[in-house]
Structure 1
Amino acid sequence: MGFSPKPKRPAGKPPSEGRLREAAIAHLAKFASTEAGLARVLANRVRRWARAAEAEGQDTEAGLHEGLAAARRVAAAMVAAGAVDDAGFAAARARRLARSGRSRRAMAAHLAAKGIDPEYAQAAIAQAPAEADAALALCRKRRIGPFTREAADPTLRLKWLGVLARAGFSREVAEAALQADPGEAESRLIALKQ
């Protein structure tokens, strides 16, 4: 006895603003999101409907256009209702990224990719933990600098500087992280997590 494929559900009508609002609430119940991110999720839902409806032979042009406009309106309404807070999202994400060993450059790129307004991103990065602490977090993650048992010969030290440079840390910050006392570095990372 073989498996029979699951019958496809008919595409039905284009997603209404009410259905998109319900989808937005369900999404926000599971995930933190930005206005741009929520609009993208809802627009993808509308595009999935359009592909399914087109496969059934429906004319999707008007429904797709209205659905995409409704997705943007719903995302804006969620911001107005306070369910989506780009500034709060940016601040929380910047703190998390710093604790995981990301440089300020990497944070800025990440927040830009999430659709955060540059003004909010700048403010969040300014309030994030010190870049030196983020560099120490990366050192611990990669087991380099003060978190290694190996003797730091000049070749190995250059490799470690390369790791930190590729992560976006300046030479000054990288040098300081690699020269940190292991005990002090560990206590700074403990303080960073609190």
Structure 2
Amino acid sequence: MAKTSVPPRITPSYLENAALHYLERFASSTASLRRVLKRKVVRSVAHWGDDADQALAHIEAVIAKLTQLGYLNDSAYAELKTGALHRRGKGARAIRASLAAKGVGAADSEQALAALAEDHAQPDRAAAITLARRRRLGPFRAAGRAENRARDLAVMGRNGFDFETARAIIDAASPETLTEEDQ
């Protein structure tokens, strides 16, 4: 039988160390870090019976301190995540949804998308081409383009692209025509 580990008691120093350890391993938004720390608090309070309100106040103090020190910055996180998702072939809608799920505010999301638009003339089109190349959709498919057209369009839609962009990429004659149009 596996033993369950006893959660440590919640103290301000424990929460700060846990937050720093988490931030060493993962880039995080303020809301994501808050969720991680709350899970630790809930587990500890359930075991030890400590005051949950006091522990939650400690979380807010730790988050305020880390924000002041610059370890937590939602706008920098939004730009980092936006760039990573764009390189993976996600459209603006999918990027907005992902950032919202991570707890990033709409203003930070829009600012990150605006910065992406400054770097790329057509960020959605470039990301759609990246996705099509990576997933071998449309002109990047070896055989069976016509039979898989609807499936390819659905993949593009699920990745945050509007129908016009998806159709333009999927119905392109060849991969070369896509890259020629971008230059």
Q: What interval of TM-score do these two structures reach, taking the shorter chain for normalisation? A: 0.7 to 0.9
Q: Which runs of 5+ in 1 are unaligned?
A: 54-58, 189-194
What's 1:35 paired with?
Answer: 30
Q: Which runs of 5+ in 2 are unaligned?
A: none
Aligned residue pairs, count: 176
What's 1:122 paired with?
Answer: 110
1:20 to 15, 20, 38: 15
The 1-side partners of 2:75 and 2:2 are apart by 45
1:98 to 55, 74, 86: 86
The 2-side partners of 1:185 and 1:168 are apart by 19
What's 1:147 paired with?
Answer: 140
Question: What aligned pairs does 1:78-97 form with structure 2 within 5 A after superposition?
Answer: 78-97=66-85
> What TM-score results when the alignment is normalised by the length of structure 1?
0.80
Question: What aligned pairs does 1:163-178 form with structure 2 within 5 A after superposition?
Answer: 163-178=155-170
What's 1:157 paired with?
Answer: 149
**2:147 is the alignment partner of 1:182:** no
Change (3 A) 1:7 1:151: closer
The letter of the residue matching 1:149 is A
State whether residues 135 and 177 of structure 1, in contact with CA within 8 Å, keep that contact through their aligned partners in structure 2: yes
The 1-side partners of 2:79 and 2:162 are apart by 22
**2:130 is the alignment partner of 1:137:** yes
What's 1:192 paired with?
Answer: none
Deviation at 1:152, TM superposition (A): 3.0
State whether residues 139 and 145 of structure 2, in contact with CA within 8 Å, keep that contact through their aligned partners in structure 1: no
**2:57 is the alignment partner of 1:65:** no
State whether residues 132 and 176 of structure 1, in contact with CA within 8 Å, keep that contact through their aligned partners in structure 2: no
> What TM-score results when the alignment is normalised by the length of structure 2?
0.84
Larger Rg: 1
The 2-side partners of 1:48 and 1:96 are apart by 33
The 1-side partners of 2:71 and 2:161 are apart by 34
Change (3 A) 1:180 1:31: farther
The 2-side partners of 1:20 and 1:136 are apart by 43
